Amino acid sequence: MKTSIVIAIALITCIASTASFAADQSSTGNAVKAEASQNSGIKTFTILYSNAKNIAPNTFTVNAGARVRLEVNPLDTATGCMNTIMVPGLWDKPEPIIKGKKIVMEFTPKRPGSYKITCAMGVNRGVIVVK
């Protein structure tokens, strides 16, 4: 019984934080396109994470077959069910978001399409568009 209550409370907390995040994203029009630097054939995007703004920028466009590097610089430590970042289909390992600890994800997208940047539970943070 106690386990069920704890699980229910954790689930409600996660849903509430997700709803709050989604409302903030839609009300602020938070889609920010990224600019990249190119070095040694790798297209590098620098991303800032904060608890208040999530990731910025949050929209990236790349070419299929081109090497991509995402560098996430956390200004805060993420908490709750939003405490990781990943790109399902391109970077499937959830990376913990810890203040001051840079996260580096390098991959080569092979197929065109839209790939969501999410937490481990699948809550949307942004998108990578592969052309």
pTM confidence score: 0.73
- Closest by CA to 81, choosing from 20, 7, 11, 25, is 11
Domain hosting 98: range is: 2-130
Helix, coil or strand: residue 121: coil
- Residues 77-126 pLDDT 10s: 999 989 999 999 999 999 999 999 999 999 999 999 999 999 999 999 99
User: Cα dist. 86→7, 37, 69, 127, 129 in Å?
Assistant: 24, 21, 13, 11, 15
Q: What's the number of domains the chain is made of?
A: 1
Helix, coil or strand: residue 120: coil
Q: Read off the CATH number of the domain in which 31 is found.
A: 2.60.40.420
Relative to beta strand 124-130, strand 59-62 is parallel
